């Protein structure tokens, strides 16, 4: 599903078997299209680190954008 972008529900039995045999051949010859298929734990760890960095960056932007209402009232006075 990840590589071919095809839902198993949308293909017939023969086509599903053909796609699976293609996957098996790629798996057996170590020619899978992405590094995550070879070390899933390491890939998950990298993805988690990327998400944490993105969240930290977003939180930093949000904290800069906060409005101090008391300071605004003082400036208006």
SS3 assignment, position 4: coil
Tens-digit pLDDT profile for residues 25-71: 988 888 887 778 778 889 899 999 999 999 988 887 766 656 677 87
**Residue 8 to residue 63: CA distance in whole angstroms:** 44
| pLDDT at residue number 14 | 92
Residue 18 has pLDDT above 80, yes or no: yes
| Mean pLDDT, rounded, for 9-31 | 88
Does pTM top 0.75 for this prediction? no
Residue 73 has pLDDT above 90, yes or no: no
SS3 assignment, position 2: coil
């Amino acid at each position: 599903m990840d590589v071919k972008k095809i839902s198993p529900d949308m293909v017939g039995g023969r086509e599903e078997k053909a796609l699976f045999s293609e996957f098996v051949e790629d798996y057996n010859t170590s020619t899978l299209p992405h590094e995550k298929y070879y070390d899933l734990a390491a890939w998950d760890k990298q993805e988690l680190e990327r998400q944490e960095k993105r969240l930290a960056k977003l939180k930093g932007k949000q904290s800069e954008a906060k409005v101090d209402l008391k300071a605004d009232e003082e400036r208006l006075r």
